[in-house]
Amino acid sequence: MKRKDGPEATTALPHSERAGEAALGSGGSTTVYRALRDLPCSRCARVIRLGDLFTRDADRATGLPLVRRCRACVPFKTTGGLLDNLFQAAEPETKPEAARPDVQEKVLSRLGPALKAGRRGRGPGGRSA
């Protein structure tokens, strides 16, 4: 997305990203979006905070989904899958095991010949960096 044409063209940052599907209170389904910055709701002017989910309605003039609707204006429930996994508490990460002392020795034994050959090639008359 660009804001201006010509040499002073700048790239605009997106307002939102598609986050998945959700079930509406009326029984239908809709696409939900995640706010990438604070945005106003087009209906009630409440602030849709960074990271909040919201829906979009089609603009009357263009038919494009440009009209933002917050959860207070259009109640919805996220429907399984990716969204539920993203919003569940993450399991604590396990720390990797400490490297055994012989690991460095094994690495050098495998890489040693290649490292020596590379160093020989950089000498006088050899390859240069």
48-90, pLDDT tens digit by residue?
Answer: 999 999 999 888 888 888 899 999 999 988 866 555 566 665 5
On whether the CB atoms of residues 69 and 54 are closer than 8 A, the answer is yes
Provide the token pair at 63.
């038919």
Q: Is the pLDDT of residue 101 over 80?
A: no
The domain ranges of the chain are 16-87
Compute the distance between CA of residue 104 and CA of residue 46 in angstroms, rounded to an integer: 58
Q: Is the pTM of this model over 0.85?
A: no
